[in-house]
Structure 1
Amino acid sequence: MNYRECLMNAKKQMVARNLSENAAMLLMMEITGKENHDLYMEFEDEISEDVLKEFNEKFELLLTGEPLQHILGYEYFYGYKFIVNEDVLIPRPETEELVANVLAYYDEYFSGKKVQLCDIGTGSGAIAITLKKEENNLQVTASDISEKAIETAKKNAENLNADVSFLVGDMCEPLIEQNLKVDILVSNPPYIPTHEEVEHSVKDYEPHVALFGGEDGLKFYRVIFERSQLLLKEKSMLAFEMGYNQKENLTALARQYFPNSRIEVIKDMSGKDRMLFIFNNLGE
């Protein structure tokens, strides 16, 4: 069997099950270590027995709706390779934009100084580890309520040689218990409303504790806004990922807790409102 026959057959099966046909190509690319243009150049070449065996085994899992990242055991984020599994949320491309904006604002408002940053609900550690890798002047502490998630995050930090401290506990609490005072607070909290429909591959394979944010999706923002008052230095910055349709409600909520702060919503590359930034006493 050549690559063309294998991938055309796989594509038909994926379409028949209403699954993303691109996943089969991505799976073959990862198994062979080839870019898609290389595969297209070799479309008529015969597939080796080893590659075909591995592809077929993993493709059967793909047909069940299991995420490709879980089948492979990793996902790339900001150019770094992160272990992912059923205990952590798979890092999304839009979260890379949150990281990029945090780095840009750090440069603007903290001018290269050493500052303390915390990442609440770290999951795989993608945000915390990437920020540390990209800016060594950040002293990074990350927390998560899930011990298994923290185990995965620690492995990622070790694999990527990132000096990040990890704490287990509910939202801000383990940081408060450590009497930590932070300049930058970052979080990608669960923000999907409980009643909202989500894809089968997300609902059935990713941890619900990292997905759902109460009836209106804002439950964990409320918790962080309130409890962060015990964490933040006078001059500080908060950065959050948010749902594309939450701008009005979330900014109103932020104003309740931070009435004298500058509140800014940033659009992602698709033009959707996806990031909330809060700046405290940055003019002083």
Structure 2
Amino acid sequence: MLTKKLISQLNLNIKKISPVHGGDINEAYHIEVQEGDFFIKLNSTSNYPALFEKEANGLKALSATNTLKTPEVIATGNFENTQYLLLEWIAPGSPNVKAWKTFGQQLATMHQIPQNHFGFAEDNYLGTYLQENTSYNTWAEFYGNYRVLPMIRLLYSQGKIGEDVVNAANNFSKELSSIFPTETPSLLHGDLWSGNFIISQYNNTVLIDPAVYCGHREMDLGMSRLFGGFAPQFYEAYNEVYPLEKNWEQRLPYTQLYPLLFHAYAFGGHYIQSIKNILKPFN
């Protein structure tokens, strides 16, 4: 909760505070001050330790590629069991064809930057799920051991899936080296759906709410296709800069398995059936 005490900690000359709606996890506000506009997110310190510190690190890692923009991180901190992340405010605009093309080109350019290993320097969050980012040399090992199988075990412990799905997931993980083409690791946004970027009033794409790690680049493309909202020009421009390997669209369900597992964990419902459908060939 944005209290007067917390506001005083920020040392800002606040003129107006407006709630920002749309997220499922955090409280969020647009803060108008004499120095400019800011965006602040709040959550429990004890429920999700270092949530915003890790998010800030992810934003900085994306920004350091000098490809896509991210909001400037102004401050992170904790106050009376409330953690906060203070960011530059990004005024949204209306995307046009040029903006979509530029977005695709910039994402492809970011993915082209070779990374040393699959994983990341620290564990971080996908939503409220603390994802492990231990380094691996192969995508098959990382995706199986630190994305698919931990979520499968969690869903099984919750009683949301049975042993048949667990067995199929184990079989799927054993086949990963033959499913995905071999590529160097890319820095990924990690949760690239239409709610996690802003086309600014200057037609720049600004990435928000990352769950970064170094992985197979098709993961970002798969996430972008899971819930829709990306224009065809985005994919065309991406493919011109960094052509995707043959049959990438047939592999989309396999890239979407991890985010579907998270949604099943967080929300249940029809996501369970989607998981079963993807894993059915591996029974």
TM-score (norm 1): 0.29
Relative contact order, CA 8 A, sep 6+: which one is greater? 2
Q: Which has the larger radius of gyration?
A: 1
